[in-house]
């Protein structure tokens, strides 16, 4: 991606009006706008529910006792599974109908209004987002109530669904911009290393993520991943992802042990997206500028190339703003834009 100190949002906003949300995005992130997720409009726009419609329509996933559960082992499961794989394989080979993986209009009002508002535009960049396979795999369960990520077949179903949902979205957004940036939102990465998820292993997680990144990158999409907590950053930094978006305000220290991996990531052209503006909006611009400069110095002291840190960076809020208030969201977005502009002047 060209352009230092680009800025954008993570995805969610607290608005119920898609137009009001898009207005805010246009005001603050004109160089890299994103479509708004609006979870307050409907539970269908939530982190998990928004992207599982293909699995539900295929009869593989149902809502049961407040959870989304696969019906593996039920009557007709094998036939439905085979049919879904046929659809996936055809789409992966470029001969199937990707509309099977379209976002439902009732679950993505902000997406479709964004397409309408931007029709005919030809921006340099535009950003979209999908929920990542690990997060989905931990939230969805099998017929016994166990997280689906642990089952090889169900994990593969989720990976294929994420890949094709992301590709469908990227193709829609490609009509608006020269380059599409597509983030996987992976708050579930916090689980790796946790005593509650002790059997989650890094190689399996990275292999799954890489299968999505390589699929999209081969089709011209710039990939990214957002994580809003500390994690084992080597999983992402050693992966094929193009942009790593981390909570630099609350969890910067978690990145320090991975300075060697970060240096290699930047050397291969990766971009570090600093989620340095807290979603509460309770921060001063001067303090954020100093926090970023100090953080860069701490990484440089550990051997990470300062020029790469300053040249291959962008800014976001620390997480989505969907759980906050409208005034808070405006403050956060405006502060992110002001921070990027200030550092562009001072370091450009």
Residues in Cβ contact with 132 at an 8 Å cutoff, skipping those fewer than 6 apart: 162, 184, 185, 186, 188, 189, 209, 212, 225
Confidence bin at 74 (pLDDT 50/70/90): very high
Residues of the chain with pLDDT > 70: what percent? 97
CB 60 within 8 A of CB 78: no
Specify the CATH architecture of the domain 6-47+105-347.
Answer: Alpha-Beta Barrel (3.20)
Q: What integer pLDDT is reported at residue 192 of this predicted model?
A: 74
pLDDT digits (tens, 9 = 90+) for 250-304: 999 999 999 999 999 999 999 999 999 999 989 999 999 999 999 999 999 999 9
User: What is the pLDDT, as a whole number, of residue 235?
Assistant: 96
Phi, psi of 317, deg, nearest 5 = -65, 165
Q: For position 29, what pLDDT does the model report?
A: 98
Q: Structure tokens of 284?
A: 């001063």
Q: What is the pLDDT of residues 170-179, one digit of tens each?
A: 999 999 999 9
What average pLDDT does the segment 14-21 reach? 97
Based on its alpha-carbon atoms, the radius of gyration of the chain, rounded to whole angstroms, reads 20
* Mean pLDDT, residues 63-89 taken together: 95
Q: Which residue bears the tokens 């370091």? A: 347
Mean of pLDDT values over 114-118: 97
The tokens describing 41, both together, are 């409009």
Parse the chain into domains and list their residue ranges: 6-47+105-347
Task: Spell out a b/e string for 46-84, using b for 16 or more CB atoms within 10 Å of the CB, else e.
Answer: bbebbbbbbbeebbbbeeeeeebbbbbeeeeeeeebeeb
């Amino acid at each position: 991606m060209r352009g230092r100190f680009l800025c954008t949002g993570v995805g969610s906003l607290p608005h119920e009006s898609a137009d009001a949300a898009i207005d805010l995005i246009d005001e603050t992130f004109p160089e890299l706008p994103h479509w708004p997720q609006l979870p307050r409009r409907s539970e269908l726009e939530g982190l998990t529910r928004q992207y599982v419609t293909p699995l539900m329509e295929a009869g593989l996933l149902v809502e049961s006792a407040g959870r989304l559960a696969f019906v593996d082992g039920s009557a007709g499961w094998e036939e439905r599974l085979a049919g879904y794989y046929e659809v996936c394989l055809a789409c992966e080979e470029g001969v199937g109908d990707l509309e099977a993986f379209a976002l439902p209009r009732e679950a993505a009002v902000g997406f479709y209004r964004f397409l309408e508002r931007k029709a005919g535009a030809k921006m340099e960049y535009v950003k979209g987002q999908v929920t990542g396979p690990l997060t989905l795999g931990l939230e969805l369960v099998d017929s016994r109530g166990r997280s689906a990520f642990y089952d090889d077949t169900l994990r593969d179903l989720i990976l294929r669904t994420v890949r094709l949902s992301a590709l469908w979205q990227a193709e829609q957004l490609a009509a608006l911009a020269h380059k599409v940036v597509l983030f996987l939102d992976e708050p579930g990465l916090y689980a790796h290393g946790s005593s509650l998820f002790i059997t989650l292993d890094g190689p399996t997680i990275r292999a799954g993520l890489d299968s999505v990144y390589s699929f999209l990158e081969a089709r011209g999409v710039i990939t990214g991943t957002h994580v809003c907590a500390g994690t084992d950053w080597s999983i992402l930094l050693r992966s094929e992802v193009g942009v790593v978006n981390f909570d630099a305000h609350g969890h910067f220290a978690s990145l320090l042990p991975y300075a060697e991996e970060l240096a290699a990531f930047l050397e291969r052209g990766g971009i570090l997206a600093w989620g340095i503006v807290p979603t509460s909006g309770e921060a001063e611009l001067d303090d954020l500028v100093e926090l970023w400069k100090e953080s860069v110095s701490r990484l440089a002291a550990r051997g990470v190339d300062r020029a790469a840190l300053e040249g291959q960076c962008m800014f976001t809020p620390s997480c989505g703003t969907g759980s906050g208030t409208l005034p808070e969201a405006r403050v956060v977005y405006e502060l992110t834009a002001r921070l990027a502009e200030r550092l562009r002047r001072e370091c450009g």
